[in-house]
Structure 1
Amino acid sequence: MPWAAVSARRLARHRLDAPAVVGGEPVTRRIADVVSGTCGVHAQVMSAAEVSVAMRVAGAVSTDVRDALWRDRTLVRTHGPRGTVHLLSARDLPAWVGAMGGLDIARGPGAGEPYLDADQVEALVDAAPRALAHADLTADELTQALADAVGAWAAEPVVDAFRTRLPRWRWVQPVLGHRGALCFGPKRGREITFTSPVRLLPGFVPMDSEPALRRLALRYLHGYGPATPAEFARWLGAPRDRSEELFRSLGDSVEQVTVVGSGPAVQIAGDPTHHEEPRGVRLLPYFDVFGVGCHPRSLLFAGAAAERALSRGQAGNYPLLLVNGQVAGVWHQALRGRRLRVTVEPLVELAAAELREVGAQARRLADIRAVEEVALVVGRVPVGPHA
């Protein structure tokens, strides 16, 4: 399979060849469909998550993503792949919790070291849903509720983080998310809150671990395949041997192909090959899942992109200029009042039509963020990662 065919398929599955059309259904439901198709959207920085989602849905803006999350509840903000904060489709949450929770249980006591032992982790998994059964709680309120339920050890400030020390229970916050014990609620002023998936989504019940893992592996291959078990393990944050075992368990549901320039990989059996060339220009924000989840890096981040658009080999730290399915530059945005300044640094020479597409993407970004004026600068991005 040529790399161009792999790239074209992924662009289509990620709605980066053409945004999804809302049609007659609610925009928040279409947003959930798109998020499901990408196996979640990184949401540590919510403003970046809103752009990631809205860029994939025709006419969608940031407030639509917030409505999907907090009003219509077609999305959930919780801990997803690698323990990082993601937006997930609400209808997919039972499979996510079944899969990720099962992996965390299989890891054993090491999931809580060095701050917690296995019994303490299980006590927190049991106590958190009860503490959140009737109200959203801030981090401080949940800390007190957990301490009241399981003992003062849960609130001891021992976890090093950002020049401070967090309560002991925060060490396994991602595990609590994976086990379905908590997820994020709406902000209260500037403070984050936590809530229970059971209260947020009535009738919520996690899937059994093994079928949930198989379902997740197939969804991943739909959005990111062809891929290897090692790439899946890296994306999910799972042990490599467990991923290899999981891929073998998929049986006739998958088939092996050879990606030109990379090597053997696995795709869904009978998945059609895209024969058209990958086309289009896109501005992808920090931590967009296309750049983070697609492999191999050597083909997606080819040439100068390997040095300029990665940070110590890691994707996500720079917003990406995507041209015809390839990382072809980086960009940066700065908001001053009602004026958005977008600086795009191409790493390849852009044709006139491609420059016009860059301008259209900058205007689309302004629309998503409800900004009245946008200025596009093509030149060197003067800031580093995470700026």
Structure 2
Amino acid sequence: MNPRAGRLSWSEVSARRLERSALAAPSAAAGPAELVRALCGAHAQVLSAAELSVGIRSEAATRGDVRAALWDQRSLVKTHGPRGTVHLLPTADLPLWNAALSTMPHPANPFPQQVRMTDEQTEEVIAAIGKALADAELTVDELSEAVVDIAGPWAGDLVMPAFQGMWPRWRQAITLASYRGVLCFGPNKGRKVTYTNPQRHLPGFEPVEGTEAQARLLENYLRAYGPATPQNYAKWLNAPRGWTTELFASLESGGRVQRVDVEGTPAWVNAGDTEFPSEPPRGVRLLPYFDAYVVAGQPRERLFPGRAAERALTPSGQAGNYPVLLIDGTVCGVWHQRRSGKKLYVTVEPLTKLSTAHRALLDEQVERVAAVLEGRPELTVGTVSAGAHA
């Protein structure tokens, strides 16, 4: 490690991010909760993708270990995180996340006036959710009945267009209820999702003060993905750019973050956190849908250069909709896996010619992916026909 406070190269930034994300070398000691903490959350809209995100960062963990941490040990919690999307978060960190996410500015309510709830109704629904889940794991239908019983019939009005039907009014408060710390996901009942109250598994739950929580969340992000800009942070959090700019300025004036130069562009790191690897990024990794490294990593044009942007980003520039092949810290292809019993059929589509060394590392990575997913791999290097995940 070399202390650097001057001009940084993209190679140095990339190498440090790989190291901080346990992608330069899988961890021999860190458990699932520690790995998720280092990532600032693991995207879990597709739970199997979250299991793989965590598992490939460990020398030995499997999806079973991640599930045990989530449902048995309760060191992980599945809830709404950055951008309102479903994430795995360390249970011990939930007070920090709740305080930061519940007090930051959010996008305007997208529903028309006749669908929205008033501020008072929203508070009633959140209180009803917390009460209904205080000692239970309920499906969404069971929770809906309980909320309507507690808050009143208006909460059950079918006014929210959803898929082929209509949802009850109260459901627009689910994400905010999770931010307030009264709702998270429970284990499925058969094929049905359940919700519960995270305070059941976190005795003495005390949210952090909002301003301090916002500062600490930014510091955690910069440790994992810095140097970064207010615009990068706004994109990751889905927050207003003006607000993130003010947050950066406040922490800079308070001596908690400092400015550095990345190839002529100003960016920020935590104060004093100016050590960067002296060696360039190395390694081959297969990252699943919505892996935190590619979703949080900016700028996109450096992480997804040339053809990678066309192949692995959506037309709007969103990352994560395709699993990616990462070579030496840069997206160099896409991949897909299909399971049949214990057999795991892995197809990798490189966008550049693989060297002999990279092909050998790819074989090792496929073996590791299969070990995490508890299957037997069969690798094909060729065209991936699967489309983007919505």
Which category of TM-score, normalised to the shorter sequence, fits these structures? over 0.9
| 3-state DSSP of counterpart to 1:381 | coil
Matched, 1:386 2:352: no
Cα shift at 1:107: 4.9
Q: Match for residue 278 of structure 2?
A: 275
2:222–2:269 Cα contact (<8 Å) kept: yes
Q: CA deviation at 1:157?
A: 2.2
Of 307-316 and 169-178, more deviation after overlay is shown by 169-178
> Residue 324 of structure 1 aligns with which residue?
328
Distance 1:341 1:161 in 2: 34
> Which structure 2 residue ranges, 5 or more long, are not aligned?
1-7
- Kindly indicate whether the alpha-carbon contact (under 8 Å) linking 1:10 and 1:223 is maintained by their aligned counterparts in 2: yes
1:99 Cα deviation (Å)?
Answer: 0.4
Determine which of 353, 358, 363 is the counterpart of 2:357.
353
| 1-structure distance, mates of 2:96, 2:157 | 33
Alignment of 1:1-387 (within 5 A): 1-22=8-29, 30-103=31-104, 106-107=105-106, 110=109, 114=113, 115-250=116-251, 251-260=254-263, 263-271=265-273, 272-312=275-315, 313-371=317-375, 373-386=376-389
**SS class of match (1:252):** coil
User: How far did 1:109 drift?
Assistant: 7.9
Q: Aligned AA for 1:190?
A: R
Cα deviation, 1:93-128, whole Å, max 9, x if unaligned, reads 10000000112xx55984876422211111112221
Q: What's the CA shift for 1:186?
A: 0.9
Q: Is the 8 A contact 2:15 2:280 kept in 1?
A: yes
Shift in Å, 1:259? 1.2
1:113–1:31 CA distance, 2 compared to 1 (3 A): farther
CA contact (8 A) 1:252 1:269 kept: yes
1:299-343, Cα deviation, whole Å (9 max, x unpaired): 000111010010121101000100000000000111122211100
8 Å contact 1:101–1:180 — kept in the other structure? no
CA distance in 1, matches of 2:326, 2:107: 41
For the residue of structure 1 that corresponds to 2:255, the secondary structure is helix
Separation in structure 2 between the aligned mates of residue 8 and residue 108 of structure 1, nearest angstrom: 34
Shift in alpha-carbon separation, 1:118–1:109, aligned structure 2, 3 A: farther
What residue identity is the alignment partner of 1:318? Answer: Y
Letter in 1 for 2:335: W
Between the aligned partners of 2:169 and 2:123, the Cα distance in structure 1 is: 14
Q: In 1, are the aligned partners of 2:126 and 2:173 still within 8 Å (CA)?
A: no
Q: Give the letter aligned to residue 20 of structure 1.
A: S
The amino acid that maps onto 1:288 is D
State the superposition RMSD in angstroms: 1.6
CA distance in 2 between partners of 1:303 and 1:182 (Å)? 42
Normalised by the length of structure 1, the TM-score is: 0.94
Supply the AA of the counterpart residue of 1:335.
R
Percent of pairs identical after alignment?
Answer: 49
Q: 1:162, CA displacement in angstroms?
A: 2.3
CA distance in 2, matches of 1:300, 1:165: 40
1:254 CA drift (Å): 1.2
SS of 2:166's equivalent in the other structure is: strand
3-state SS of 2:276 partner: coil
CA gap 1:109/1:121 in 2 versus in 1, 3 angstroms: farther
> Shift of residue 59 of structure 1?
0.5
Mapped to 2, the partners of 1:167 and 1:202 lie a distance apart of: 32
Could you tell me how far apart the structure 2 residues matched to 1:211 and 1:55 are?
Answer: 32
Aligned equivalents of 1:108, 1:60: Cα separation in 2:
37
Distance in 1 (alpha carbons) for counterparts of 2:345 and 2:243: 46
Tell me, what secondary structure is at the counterpart of 2:193?
strand
More displaced 10-residue stretch of structure 1: 186-195 or 278-287: 186-195
Q: How far off its partner does 1:260 sit?
A: 1.6
- CA change 1:340–1:175 in 2 (3 A) is same
Q: d(CA) in 1 for partners of 2:108 and 2:281?
A: 46
TM-score, normalised to structure 2, is 0.93
- In structure 1, how many angstroms separate the alpha carbons of the residues matched to 2:160 and 2:78? 23
Which deviates more, 149-158 or 7-16? 149-158
Q: Find the residue that maps to 2:367 and give its secondary structure.
A: helix
Partners of 2:107 and 2:310 in 1: CA distance: 38
Amino acid corresponding to residue 160 of structure 1 in structure 2: P
